[in-house]
Amino acid sequence: MPSRICAVFLTLALPTTLWGQTTSDLVADPNLSSRCRELLKDRNDKVATRQRLTGLLQRNQNLLKQTPESRSLMNKRLKANEITLRNELYLATLQVQSMEEAIIRSGCPGINL
């Protein structure tokens, strides 16, 4: 009788211990996590660059509004600067999108984009 109870206990307890494993029990690959940290750091740096470019563009637009028409050379320089800043901002935005896609493709766990 005790062997029968033990057999029933094993058949009931064994599958739950095998199925009860969670992903937190699994060991994470250190190469993957270091690569993910590197990708996220690069993305955060590029986002900071994009924010700086946005601020510079706003500042340039304010200067362009405040500059008198008599300062034609200054207006030309500010307009050329605005075009350059817009191009840089566009490229930075594309790079951020590309980096986000690379992060997702690499399968980084727990990302917050």
pLDDT in the model for residue 9: 47
Which uninterrupted H or E stretch holds 32?
Answer: helix 30-66
Give the three-class secondary structure for 111. coil
pLDDT for 14 equals 47
User: What tokens were used for 9?
Assistant: 């206990």
pLDDT at 108 over 60: yes
Other Cβ atoms closer than 10 A to 33: 12
Q: For residue range 35-73, what is the model confidence (pLDDT) as tens digits?
A: 888 988 999 999 999 999 999 999 999 999 999 988 999
